[in-house]
Amino acid sequence: MFLHMDGARIANAAASLGQTLRQATRDLGVDVLSFGGTKNGIVGGEAVIFFNQNSHNPKLGADFLYLRKQGMQLASKMRFIAAQFEALLTNDLWRKSAEHANRMARLLESAVGKIPQVRVVWKVEANGVFAQIPRHAIAKIKERYFFYPWMEEENIVRWMCSFDTTEEDIKEFADFVAQAVKG
């Protein structure tokens, strides 16, 4: 049995744990990784990485090029997408971007944690903040900001920070949340 990892936010997890991408994937026994480029600052690219192609797994990914084309995922100018990955993976840009997003999440946790009607329900370990807020505030906040209700029945929402979240974004969002929860 092979292990596939959806790595949309693997950079954030690895940075949070102080690991390299290899330590957080291949070294843990991951066979196939879907590496999310868009959540790491790439305009429009995702990569599928096949690890551990060796004498035990000689055919892992052997048909992937054909399946990718058959599934209409063949970019005619792939070099432009690949160039973005080269930049992302050079000089630890992936790590700097992930560390920034993780830092913004901790700042968001601190800012919304000061609002009496908001309760951060889980420890912030990477770039996501899970908070319980009054039900009436969810719709009001969603009119201006996109996010997912995570556990609707408990009014728990998921707020994500990214490579381009700014301290000003956090302040504006927290101020809006404070107004929304008041009613």
pLDDT in tens, 10-38: 999 999 999 999 999 999 999 899 998 88
User: 């429009």: which residue's tokens?
Assistant: 44
When divided into structural domains, the chain yields a total of 2
Asked which of 26, 56, 90 is the last residue of a domain, the reply is 90
In CATH, what number is assigned to the domain containing residue 156?
3.90.1150.10
Do residue 84 and residue 120 come from a single domain?
no
108 and 136 in a single domain? The answer is yes
Say if residue 86 is in the same domain as residue 66.
yes
pTM: 0.88
Q: Please tell me whether residues 76 and 119 are part of one structural domain.
A: no
Q: What is the mean pLDDT of residues 54-81?
A: 68
Tell whether 85 and 8 lie within a shared domain.
yes
Domain that holds residue 104: 98-182
Q: DSSP character for 8? A: T
| Phi-psi group of 31: left, alpha or beta (phi > 0 → left; psi -120 to 50 → alpha; rest → beta) | alpha
State the pLDDT at residue 66: 63
- Looking at the structure, do residues 85 and 137 belong to the same domain, yes or no? no
Q: What is the mean pLDDT of the chain?
A: 90
- φ and ψ of 39, to 5 deg: -80, 0
107-161 pLDDT, tens digit per residue, is: 999 999 999 999 999 999 999 999 999 999 999 999 999 998 999 999 999 999 9
Among the candidates 48, 69, 90, a domain finishes at 90
- For residue range 117-126, what is the model confidence (pLDDT) as tens digits? 999 999 999 9
**Is residue 22 within 8 Å of 50, Cβ to Cβ?**
no
Asked if residue 46 lies in contact with residue 37, where contact means CB atoms within 8 angstroms, the answer is yes
Q: Are 30 and 51 in contact (CB under 8 A)?
A: yes
155 and 81 belong to one structural domain: no
Considering the domain architecture, whether residues 104 and 79 belong to the same structural domain is answered as: no
Cβ 42 vs Cβ 84: under 8 Å: yes
What pLDDT shows up at residue 51? Answer: 86
Contact 41, 11 (CB under 8 A): no
Q: Are strands 156-160 and 148-151 parallel, antiparallel or unpaired?
A: antiparallel
